[in-house]
């Protein structure tokens, strides 16, 4: 198969062209094989996106209800700052397992600002639109290479880490994979323990919830971490007013979170009504039901 002129040209969306993508993928796979990285737990962070240059925001796609006639506004712009430094486990005084991305202490890192305003006003002359008031962004598809479609394999990692400065609003982190259902997302509430300050928040991949159009769907299947297409952040609380979220980088890591994120912090109501136990007729009167944790009784 020969690359078309469109594939040979410089890549769009801030990504390199076809042949450069292919060479980078070849180098990555060769390095993986030579160092036998699949035989041990990675100690380096795996960046999904780092906002460290002017072109970084171009690697993301903005989504907003204004695309369908709504009145919310959203933008993603770059702000210069301190360099992003990748550290592995055991460097300096840091002996914790797993890699991390930091910047020089006391300096604000280079980052992107996701900002705008939310409006729940419905567009006129569009009666089919019943809800409005959302904004978000996600990384663009990375394109094709000589090895096929470029996807992320996050299976060697246990956590997703984000360096953010939040305004305290209810944002969600979204993953899109090569799922059988293309509209499926795996989502989790973006935690923020110190709004207004820079912080690194960590979410276990196992805590992400499978959704479709914002609704939890069953069965809950584990995210296909070997074939991840994109990662993004959305604001869907439908609270009118301005918003501003600063993001330095998003990366996979094996460093455990400082705070444990339980299922109650996913942002979704996962509670289920207890099922009524099936009646056993007269046996309920002859033999009382065994209580939870009670040893089995043998009737003679």
Q: How does residue 62 score in pLDDT terms, banded at 50, 70 and 90?
A: very high
Q: Give the span between the Cα atoms of 235 and 60, in whole angstroms.
A: 15
Mean per-residue pLDDT of the chain: 80
Q: How does residue 289 score in pLDDT terms, banded at 50, 70 and 90?
A: low
**Domain presence at residue 278:** no
User: What are the pLDDT digits (tens) for 177-202?
Assistant: 998 888 899 999 999 999 999 999 99
Omega into 50 within 30° of 0, i.e. cis?
no
**Domain presence at residue 3:** no
The strand pair at 148-149 and 144-145 is best described as: antiparallel
Q: How many domains does the chain have?
A: 1
**Domain presence at residue 258:** no
**Domain presence at residue 51:** yes
**Domain presence at residue 281:** no
In the prediction, which pLDDT does 287 show? 46
- pLDDT greater at residue 140 or residue 265: 140
Q: Which CATH number fits the domain that encloses residue 173?
A: 2.60.120.430
Above pLDDT 90, what percent of the chain? 51
**Domain presence at residue 159:** yes
In the prediction, which pLDDT does 189 show? 95
Q: What angle do CA 47, 112, 134 make, to 5 degrees?
A: 100
**Domain presence at residue 113:** yes
Considering Cα of 77, then 210, then 150, then 160, what sign does the dihedral take? positive
DSSP code, position 275: P
Confidence check: pLDDT of 219 > 90? no
Confidence check: pLDDT of 263 > 60? no
Cβ within 8 Å of residue 91, ≥6 positions away: none
**Domain presence at residue 262:** no
Domain that holds residue 49: 18-87+97-253
User: What are the pLDDT digits (tens) for 121-157?
Assistant: 998 888 888 889 999 999 998 877 666 688 999 999 9
CB 133 within 8 A of CB 120: yes
Q: How does residue 6 score in pLDDT terms, banded at 50, 70 and 90?
A: very low
Confidence check: pLDDT of 72 > 60? yes
């Amino acid at each position: 198969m020969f690359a078309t002129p469109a594939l040979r040209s410089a890549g769009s969306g801030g990504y390199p062209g076809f042949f450069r993508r292919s060479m980078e993928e070849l180098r990555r796979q060769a390095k993986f094989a030579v160092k036998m990285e699949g035989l041990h737990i990675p100690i380096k962070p795996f960046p999904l996106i780092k906002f460290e240059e002017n072109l970084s925001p171009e690697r993301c796609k903005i989504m907003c209800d204004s695309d369908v006639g709504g009145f919310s506004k959203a933008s993603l712009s770059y702000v210069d700052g301190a360099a992003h430094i990748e550290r592995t486990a055991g460097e300096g005084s840091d002996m914790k397992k797993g890699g991390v991305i930091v910047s020089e202490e006391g300096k604000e890192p280079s980052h992107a600002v996701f900002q705008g305003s939310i409006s729940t006003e419905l567009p006129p002359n569009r009666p089919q639109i019943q809800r409005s008031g959302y904004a978000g962004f996600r990384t663009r598809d990375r394109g094709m290479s000589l090895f096929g479609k470029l996807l992320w394999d996050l299976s060697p990692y246990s956590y997703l880490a984000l360096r953010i400065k939040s305004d305290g609003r209810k944002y969600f982190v979204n993953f899109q994979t090569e799922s059988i259902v293309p509209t499926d997302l795996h989502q989790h509430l973006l935690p923020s323990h110190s709004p207004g300050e820079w912080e690194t928040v960590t979410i276990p991949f196992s805590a992400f919830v499978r959704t479709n159009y914002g609704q939890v769907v069953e069965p809950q299947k584990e995210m296909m971490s070997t074939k991840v297409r994109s990662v993004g952040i959305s604001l869907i609380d439908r609270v009118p007013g301005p918003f501003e979220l600063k993001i330095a980088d998003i990366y996979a890591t094996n460093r455990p979170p400082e705070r444990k994120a339980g299922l109650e912090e996913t942002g979704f109501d996962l509670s289920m009504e207890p099922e009524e136990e099936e009646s056993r007729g007269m046996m309920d009167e002859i033999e009382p039901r065994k209580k939870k944790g009670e040893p089995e009784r043998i009737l003679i």
